[in-house]
């Protein structure tokens, strides 16, 4: 009778320890997942703040003026545009067109 009670008690302890082990393992997985998600959230919030700052800069009149000057070549009414002659001449001499027979030879060979 004592042996049967001892065997039942040992089986009960094994089942109980197995369930405790599984519970602890799941808790650790949940903790690491939570930490990873918090880290991802912080990274995304940092990106969000950066993008909000960039958006406010893009909406500003300074950005519009800068883009108009750089990309469209626009100037204010009281300003003048100065073009350097040396730059335009050096660019034109560097881009001297090749004769057609040289283009054909380069294309074939």
**Predicted confidence band at 98 (pLDDT cuts at 50, 70, 90)?**
confident
Phi and psi at residue 76, in whole multiples of 5°? -75, 165
In a domain, 34, yes or no: yes
**Predicted confidence band at 84 (pLDDT cuts at 50, 70, 90)?**
confident
| Weakest mean pLDDT among 7-11, 76-80, 87-91 | 87-91
Look up the domain containing 46 and give its range: 2-82
User: What's the distance, CA 27 to chain centroid?
Assistant: 32
In a domain, 94, yes or no: no
Q: Calculate what percentage of the chain has a pLDDT beyond 90.
A: 58
Residue 89 pLDDT: 54
**Predicted confidence band at 90 (pLDDT cuts at 50, 70, 90)?**
low
**How many distinct structural domains can be found in the chain?**
1
Residue 93 pLDDT: 58
Sign of CA dihedral 10, 12, 13, 18: positive
What value does the mean pLDDT take over residues 27-42?
93
In a domain, 89, yes or no: no
């Amino acid at each position: 009778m004592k042996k049967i009670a001892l065997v039942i008690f040992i089986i009960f302890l094994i089942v109980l320890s197995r369930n405790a082990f599984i519970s602890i393992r799941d808790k650790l997985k949940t903790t690491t997942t939570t930490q990873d998600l918090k880290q991802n959230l912080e990274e995304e919030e940092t990106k969000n703040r950066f993008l909000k700052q960039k958006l406010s800069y893009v909406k500003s009149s300074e950005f519009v003026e800068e883009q108009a000057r750089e990309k469209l070549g626009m100037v204010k009414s009281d300003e003048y545009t100065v073009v350097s002659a040396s730059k335009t001449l050096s660019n034109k001499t560097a881009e001297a067109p090749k004769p057609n027979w040289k283009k054909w030879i380069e294309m074939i060979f």
